[in-house]
Amino acid sequence: MKRLIVNADDFGADRHRDAGIAAAVAAGAVTSVSVLANGPSLDDGLSLLRSWQRRGISVGLHFNLSEGRPLKRGAALIANENGAFLGKAATHNLLMQNANMEIAAEIEGELEAQIAHLKERGLRIDHLDGHQHVHVFPAAVTMVARASARHTIPRIRVPAEELIGEGPGGSYGPADDGASGLRNGDNGPERQAAAGPHAPERRGDNGRRERNPMEAGAFGPPSGRITGGIETPAPVLLREAAMFSRLAASARPILASVGMRAADHFRGLVLKGRLSLPLLEDTLKNLPPGVTELMVHPGYAPDRPAPGPFAAFATAERERELAVLLAPGFRALLKKYRIEMISHLGANP
């Protein structure tokens, strides 16, 4: 049996991102949502998140160490002199250190603050993943494993994806070999209702030509070549995906040691910014048996992005993903390949 968790990342980044995620949830195209605890629009979306949890949509922490400001004051290593996170590249470099106790202490303090922030707002944390996958980096993974066990967070993302192809670093090889030490605990699943009450406000017309989501490259320039109607990932995207997959593979035994559960398979690293229905069909028809988590980033693009650290979150690429998820063809593909959609809650024992 093939089961699919479609998880939308970055809820709380801004109202345009949140409205796009809400549209996908209401359409039954997204069954799980990850929340930025330091996101500027989080409080505005709390009632929506609570209603989704009542309807069986899983809501999790999108652990953030790279964008915006920490929730815990006094960080000297994971934040700059202005008190803001360091940004993606600098944070990834910092998190490659695995023997610095001062960095580990700051990460643990920030993780506890983000968990508490969601709980204080009446949210149950059904799963945990990382913004830009920070949770599987060497400096963070042990802290994440311990905190997840302390707070009985039942599910976690392991972004190890099958990557086949040649690149500057040689063969990327299959990163997702199915040999996970994490227990899926997937017995007796139930289909989760994804409908929600929210009718998002549509963005204004900014003059961009609307394109069919069936078309490769819709809503944005292609990242790589077009082969057989399917856009291939650019080398830079493959290199990044290979790095995340290697880190995730190394993180597996650490997470498994505290009893964390994950989906059997993961997809989405090489779909970032280039999703189309042909590419989605190629992904779905090749899903292995078991539970797969598909990471998506739907959203609306505003006429004028608001300034701030999350300004780049509501873009044409996000609208492109949303258009694909809302297309009638998506549901047809699920039926065609006999795939059942569930949330992280449906994958629990």
Q: Which residues sit opposite 220 in a β-bridge?
A: none
How far apart CA 342 and CA 194 sit, in angstroms, is: 9
The 3-state DSSP class for residue 10 equals: strand
User: Does the annotation count 186 as an active-site position?
Assistant: no
* 206-212 contacts at long range (C-beta below 8 A, 24 or more positions apart): 206/301, 206/303, 208/316
DSSP string, 308-342: STTGGGSSHHHHHHHHHHHSHHHHHHHHHTTEEE-
DSSP string, 112-157: HHHHHHHHHTT----EEEEGGGGGGSHHHHHHHHHHHHHTT--EE-
The two tokens of residue 43 are 């409080």
How far apart CA 88 and CA 71 sit, in angstroms, is: 17
Measured CA to CA in angstroms, residue 226 lies from 87, 233, 278, 286 at distances of 32, 9, 11, 19
Q: Which residues sit opposite 33 in a β-bridge?
A: 8, 59
Cβ atoms 320, 208 nearer than 8 A:
no
Instruction: Give the 3-state secondary structure of 215-277.
Output: CCCCCCCCCCCEECCEECCCHHHHHHHHHHHHHHHHHHHHHHCCCCECCCEEECHHHCCCCCH
Cβ atoms 56, 95 nearer than 8 A:
no
One-letter amino acid for residue 101 of the chain: M
Query: For tokens 């320039």, what's the residue?
Result: 221
Q: Which residue among 9, 14, 126, 186 is the active-site one? A: 9
DSSP 300: P
| Catalytic residue positions, numbered | 9
